[in-house]
């Protein structure tokens, strides 16, 4: 998925306040949806005035360039409705960039030694820039920002084919843009502002993660690898548990209360445990969930969101008072509902194959079904028109 901009004032912004730096790098995927035949800014870092560096088109509306306060550095034509990856890194006046279309077999590389030797990273803007009305009519996905480090050409090329950052050293901000949201998934808390009026569209043809990287991040704890079964939680969790890579083993049963956030940002190709207690926080799976989610025998009062759910969702024998949203694809069977649903289950932008069951005990569908909501008397599922 990707975020779509189509008007001025829709940009995302962030006050970075990182001061003057001589090394930083940016990587993202961009698609020009409409040729405005004018300068269109993909991203920009600036101090609100004449000190800036940005990725933008030239005045012809389709040729991309890295522009700073000293001059413009032309890359190549992006065309219209073609996903392009652009990675950029500067080390003083020396700069490197790579650009590759989603349909190309190899990237193009660019280098120059006449760029601005330093940059005041006061403000970040995505979808527009320091100059008014030069907005992007198109899409952005997998935006990554590094500060204080120089990425080599090989490192820039390696970042192209996955949403998850390959390099974590110096990572200052990361916005996957799997949907229109402002969350910074780097862990640095640089939440964006704005984005009002943006929508979501299909993203570039890349995976969430390439290769097998298993990283577990715990608040206040060191990073490491988890290749086996995590222990059961018999107390309460008040922090955050994040699976940023791949989790190939069985997550434990939760027999107590979880009041915090559990997030699977990479892949969870194994069985998630049954929830025998209450979940009052949030479970987010922006990446891939390749296996069966467990039966819910307790109560879910929070929010469950996902990217691609490619297997069977479990039967619900408890109660869902929150929201279940699948923002990717759900090509498998949704379960029977034997409890009650007081919230909403929504599957936007995707096809859904449904097998109808007995009245109020299974699933029923109507044409153009794109969202699920509870029926009366809250014992079954009903389809409704898309809510976009």
What is the third-level CATH fold of 2-189?
A: Jelly Rolls (2.60.120)
Report the predicted TM-score, pTM, of the whole model to 2 decimal places: 0.57
Residues, the chain: 388
Whether 344 contacts 366, CB under 8 Å: no
CB atoms within 10 A of CB 127: 29
Domain extents for the chain?
2-189, 207-388
Q: Distance (Å, rounded) from C-alpha 50 to C-alpha 145? A: 21
For 305-339, write each residue's pLDDT tens digit. Answer: 444 444 444 555 555 455 444 444 444 454 555 55
Question: What confidence tier does 84 reach under pLDDT thresholds 50, 70, 90?
Answer: very high
Given a cut of 90, whether residue 195 has pLDDT beyond it is: yes
| pLDDT attached to residue 318 | 56
Q: Round the average pLDDT of the chain to a whole number and report it.
A: 72
Q: What percent of the chain has pLDDT over 70?
A: 54
| pLDDT attached to residue 215 | 37
**Rounded to 5°, angle at Cα 307 from 370 and 104:** 105
Given a cut of 80, whether residue 174 has pLDDT beyond it is: yes
**Out of 50-54, 114-118, 321-325, least confident range:** 321-325
Whether 273 contacts 294, CB under 8 Å: yes
| pLDDT attached to residue 86 | 98
For 155-173, write each residue's pLDDT tens digit. Answer: 999 999 999 999 999 999 9
Given a cut of 50, whether residue 205 has pLDDT beyond it is: yes
* Highest-confidence segment of 31-40, 176-185, 218-227: 31-40
Question: What confidence tier does 69 reach under pLDDT thresholds 50, 70, 90?
Answer: confident
Question: What confidence tier does 247 reach under pLDDT thresholds 50, 70, 90?
Answer: very low
The tally of CA atoms less than 13 A away on the side-chain side of residue 147 is 18
Q: Which helix (H) or strand (E) holds 219?
A: none
Given a cut of 90, whether residue 264 has pLDDT beyond it is: no
């Amino acid at each position: 998925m990707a975020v779509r901009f189509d008007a001025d004032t829709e940009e995302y912004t962030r006050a970075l306040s990182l001061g003057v730096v001589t090394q930083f790098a940016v990587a993202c995927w961009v698609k020009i949806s409409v040729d405005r035949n004018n300068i269109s800014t993909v991203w920009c870092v600036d101090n609100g005035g004449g000190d800036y560096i940005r990725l933008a088109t030239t005045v012809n509306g389709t040729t991309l360039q890295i522009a700073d306060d000293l001059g413009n550095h032309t890359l190549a034509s992006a065309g219209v409705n073609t996903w392009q990856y652009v990675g950029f890194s500067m080390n003083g006046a020396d700069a490197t960039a790579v650009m590759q279309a989603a349909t190309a077999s190899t990237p193009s590389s660019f280098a120059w030694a006449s760029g601005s030797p330093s940059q005041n990273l006061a403000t970040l803007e995505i979808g527009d820039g320091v100059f008014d009305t030069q907005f992007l009519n198109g899409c952005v996905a997998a935006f990554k920002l590094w500060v204080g480090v120089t990425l080599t050409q090989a490192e820039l090329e390696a970042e192209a084919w996955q949403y998850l950052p390959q390099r974590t050293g110096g990572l200052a901000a990361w916005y996957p843009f799997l949907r229109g949201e402002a969350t910074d998934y780097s862990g640095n808390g640089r939440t964006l502002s704005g984005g009002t009026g943006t929508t979501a569209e299909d993203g570039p043809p890349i995976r969430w993660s390439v290769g097998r990287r298993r990283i577990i991040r715990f608040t206040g704890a060191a990073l490491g690898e988890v290749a086996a079964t995590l222990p059961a939680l018999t107390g309460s969790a008040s922090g955050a548990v994040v699976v940023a890579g791949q989790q190939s083993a069985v997550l434990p049963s939760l027999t107590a209360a979880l009041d915090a956030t559990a997030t699977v940002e990479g892949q969870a190709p194994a069985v998630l445990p049954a929830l025998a207690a209450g979940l009052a926080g949030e479970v987010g799976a922006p990446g891939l969930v390749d296996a069966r989610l467990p039966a819910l025998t307790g109560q879910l009062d929070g929010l469950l969101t996902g990217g691609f759910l490619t297997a069977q969702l479990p039967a619900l024998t408890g109660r869902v008072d929150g929201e279940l949203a699948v923002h990717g694809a759900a090509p498998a069977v949704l379960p029977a509902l034997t409890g009650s649903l007081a919230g909403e289950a929504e599957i936007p932008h995707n096809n859904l194959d449904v097998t109808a069951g007995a009245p109020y005990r299974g699933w029923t569908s109507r044409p153009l079904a794109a969202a699920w909501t509870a029926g009366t008397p809250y014992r079954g599922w009903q389809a409704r028109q898309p809510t976009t």
